[in-house]
């Protein structure tokens, strides 16, 4: 598609026309968004934003569109960027987002969009906004020649490790499996660059960011607004599975076996997690092996009733001792080892958890090895996650998420389940009111634990007895941009 001339008298209608014009290539329901929320041209925002009012609208700056959106597909990417910014709930990850946070957010979103839409008609949009030879702009765009012949150059003033981060954001040939960087890895890179600039007394030149970064409260209101949430769900319902964690619930597909390399886990996250795990274990047993007095099969007494199972009867008859008495079976009290208490843990292995799973698997490993936790993995189905698979990072997932499969499994288990722990990013869908009623009737208490890198609490508020957001699971360094 070529550039369409923007008519200032009816700029909003022209923008909608451009979006609808690229729908056959995008194969998405963008027209649904235009019809439900509406689009308005506004020069009061840098590029794009969601206006959270009585009738929410998507705002687009026509000057930005005229300058950078050469193709209609570029305009589509601009709108998608703003939608993903809301869906990913970035403003909820950090209480006070700094410039470093905003750059990291855009780097993840731009890379995800570029990988999702790698066809020739979409290329050129992110490349026109920032230069590949400048840092941190090089993090916000694909390298020259990507995806088939990427040129990973060393950008000016880029801190060590920049090239490796870009290679993970934009791997050669757009590989379907790769180790995408986490927010904290990009943040640490940016903090090092900022601190170096401050130490040298140099001016920090900000890159061009896309979307609304000036009003985080508006993003929070937008995500909490029932109308916008309904719009986002209806629009994203037909999207294909994303190639990186986008923090939304999917319907899932076939069950697939995947392998993750176990990652490190921060001590702060481990301490916060074990506090919740102890609540699910009940009374702690300490480090010593305790024994309880219980009824076990044994000899309860003697009488004249013959008992063929009395192995001492023939010996007593030969010795002439109590020849007419027989040992009788029964139950006697004896000290036996206590059955250790184990917590039932349900680990979300859906597509939105892909970046965090290596660290969460490592987080669970010692408690499973010591018998303190019994782990089940869930997406739209529940599967056991035994120790041998956990050690090797093997998971089974449909890539979707459905909290109802967890509730159904908990109700069907033979164990007297009174507490369970759900480890998830919170994008679990709407629970069945009937299943919730059955869970409450049985007195089952649900504890939800969410990683600090991605924590959406809205859908769990009516399910969980308590919600715990872990500190970042990756070790962080102090420096500029730390909230």
What percent of the chain has a predicted confidence (pLDDT) above 70? 71
Average pLDDT over the chain, rounded to an integer: 77
| 262, 362 Cβ separation under 8 angstroms | yes
144, 46: one domain: yes
CB crowding 113-148: b at 16 or more within 10 Å, else e: bbbbbbeeebbbbbbebbbbeebbbbbbbbbeebbe
Taking only the tens place, the pLDDT of each residue in 14-50 is 777 777 666 544 444 455 555 545 678 888 888 888 7
Which CATH number fits the domain that encloses residue 399?
A: 3.40.50.410
Cis amide bond preceding 147, omega within 30: yes
Asked whether residue 249 is domain-assigned, the answer is no
Residues 328 and 378 in one domain: no
CA distance 196 to 91: 26
Q: Are residues 319 and 186 in the same domain?
A: no
Helix H, strand E, coil C: the string for the chain is CCCCCCCHHHHHHHHHHHHHHCHHHHCCCHHHHHHHCCEEECCCCCCEEEECCCCCEEEECHHHHHHHCCCHHHHHHHHHHHHHHHHCCHHHHCCCCCHHHHHHHHHHHHHHHHHHCCCHHHCCHHHHHCCCCECCHHHHCCCCCCCCCCCCCCCECCCCCHHHHHHHHCCHHHCCCCCCCCHHHHHHHHHHHHHHHHHHCCCCCCCCCCCCCCCHHHHHHHHHCHHHHHHHHHHHCCCCCCCCCCCCCCCCCCCEEEECCCCCCCHHHHHHHHHHHHHHHCCCCCCCCCEEEEEEEEEEEEECCCCCCCCCHHHHHHHCCCCCCEEEEEEEEEEEECCCCCEEEEEECCHHHCCCHHHHHHHHHHHHHCCCEEEEEECCCEEECCHHHHHHCEEEECCCCCHHHHHHHHHHCCCCCCEEEEECCCCCCCCCHHHHHHHHHCCCEEEEEECCCCCCCHHHCCCCCEEEECCCCCCCCCCCCCC
pLDDT of residue 88: 65
Q: Assess whether 102 and 141 both reside in one domain.
A: yes
Same domain, 95 and 156: yes
Spell out a b/e string for 79-105, using b for 16 or more CB atoms within 10 Å of the CB, else e.
Answer: bbbbbbbbbbbbbbbbeebbbbbbbbb
Q: Which residues pair with 299 in a beta bridge?
A: 329
Residue 247's pLDDT is: 42
Count of structural domains within the chain = 3
428-433 average pLDDT score: 86
Considering the domain boundaries, does residue 1 fall inside one? Answer: no
Residues 6+ positions from 36 with CB-CB distance below 8 Å: 230, 231, 234, 235
Q: What is the pLDDT of residues 181-215, one digit of tens each?
A: 877 788 889 989 998 888 888 888 889 988 766 65
* Interval 10-15 mean pLDDT: 73
332 with 345, same domain: the answer is: no
Distances (CA, A) of 427 to 90, 236, 261: 14, 13, 23
Residue range 40-98, pLDDT digits in tens: 888 888 888 877 665 667 788 889 998 999 888 898 889 888 877 766 655 555 556 78
Where a domain ends, among 181, 209, 242?
242
Residue 121 sits in the same domain as residue 188: yes
137-160 pLDDT, tens per residue? 999 999 999 988 899 988 888 999
Q: Are residues 155 and 70 in the same domain?
A: yes
Q: In what order do the strands lie in the sheet with 445-450?
A: 382-384, 373-378, 343-348, 419-423, 445-450, 466-469
Q: Which of the four pLDDT bands, split at 50, 70 and 90, describes residue 310?
A: confident
How far apart (Å, rounded) are the C-alpha atoms in residues 49 and 58? 6
**pLDDT (tens digit, 9 = 90+) per residue, 367-389?**
999 888 899 999 989 999 999 99
Residue 262 falls inside a structural domain:
no
Query: 406 near 346, Cβ under 8 Å?
Result: yes
Domain that holds residue 62: 8-242
- Give the per-residue pLDDT at 26: 44
Mean pLDDT along residues 279-296: 59
Tens of pLDDT, residues 89-141 = 555 555 567 888 889 889 988 998 898 888 888 899 999 999 999 999 999 99
Residue 427 belongs to some domain of the structure? yes
Is the same domain home to 370 and 325?
no
Instruction: Verify that 332 and 437 share a domain, yes or no.
Output: no
The answer to whether residue 479 sits within a structural domain is no
Pair (331, 425) in one structural domain: no
| 217 assigned to some structural domain | yes
The tokens for 255 are 């069950």
Token pair in block for residue 429: 């869908």
pLDDT at 459 over 60: yes
* Residue 151, domain member (yes or no): yes
pLDDT recorded at residue 323:
65
Is the residue at 96 inside a domain?
yes
**Whether residues 359 and 459 fall in one domain:** yes
How many angstroms separate the Cα of 240 from the Cα of each of 137, 236, 317, 387?
28, 9, 82, 32
């Amino acid at each position: 598609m070529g550039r369409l001339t923007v008519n200032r008298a009816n700029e909003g209608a022209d923008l909608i026309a451009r979006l609808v014009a690229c729908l056959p290539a995008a194969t998405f329901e963008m027209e649904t968004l235009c019809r439900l929320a509406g689009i308005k041209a506004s020069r009061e925002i840098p590029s794009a934003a969601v206006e959270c009012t009585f009738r929410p609208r998507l705002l687009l700056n026509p000057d930005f569109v005229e300058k950078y959106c050469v193709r209609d597909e570029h305009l589509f990417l601009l709108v998608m960027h703003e939608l993903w910014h809301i869906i990913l709930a970035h403003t909820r990850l950090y209480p006070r987002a700094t410039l470093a946070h905003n750059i990291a957010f855009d780097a993840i979103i731009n890379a995800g969009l570029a990988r999702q839409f790698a066809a020739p008609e979409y290329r050129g949009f992110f490349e026109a906004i920032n230069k590949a030879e400048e840092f941190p702009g090089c993090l916000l765009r694909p390298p020259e020649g990507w995806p088939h012949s990427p040129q990973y150059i060393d950008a000016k003033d880029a801190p060590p490790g920049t090239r490796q981060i870009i290679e993970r954001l934009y791997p050669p040939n757009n590989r379907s499996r790769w180790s995408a960087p986490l927010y904290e890895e990009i943040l640490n890179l940016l903090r090092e660059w900022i601190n170096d600039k401050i130490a040298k007394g140099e001016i920090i030149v900000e890159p061009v960011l896309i979307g609304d970064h000036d009003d985080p409260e508006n993003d929070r209101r937008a995500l909490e607004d029932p109308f916008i949430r309904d719009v986002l769900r209806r629009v994203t319902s037909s999207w294909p599975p994303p190639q990186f964690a986008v923090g939304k619930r999917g319907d899932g597909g076939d069950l697939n076996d995947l392998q993750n390399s176990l990652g490190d886990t921060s001590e702060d996250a481990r301490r916060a997690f074990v506090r919740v795990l102890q609540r699910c274990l009940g009374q702690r047993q300490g480090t010593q092996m305790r024994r309880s007095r219980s009824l076990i099969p044994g000899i309860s007494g003697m009488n004249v009733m013959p008992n063929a199972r009395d192995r001492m009867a023939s010996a007593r008859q030969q010795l002439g001792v109590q020849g007419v008495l027989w040992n009788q079976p029964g139950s006697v009290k004896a000290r036996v080892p206590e059955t250790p208490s184990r917590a039932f843990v349900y680990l979300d292995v859906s597509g939105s958890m892909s970046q965090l799973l290596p660290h969460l698997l490592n987080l669970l490993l010692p408690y499973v090895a010591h018998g303190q936790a019994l782990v089940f993995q869930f997406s739209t189905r529940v599967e056991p996650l035994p120790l041998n698979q956990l050690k090797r990072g093997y998971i089974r997932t449909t890539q979707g998420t459905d909290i109802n499969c967890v509730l159904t499994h908990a109700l069907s288990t033979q164990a007297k389940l009174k507490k369970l722990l759900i480890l998830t990013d919170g994008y679990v869908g709407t629970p069945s009111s009937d299943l919730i009623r059955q869970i409450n009737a049985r007195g089952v208490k649900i504890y939800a634990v969410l990683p600090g890198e991605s924590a959406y609490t809205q859908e769990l508020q009516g399910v969980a007895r308590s919600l715990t957001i872990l500190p970042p699971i990756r070790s962080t360094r102090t420096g500029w941009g730390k909230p």
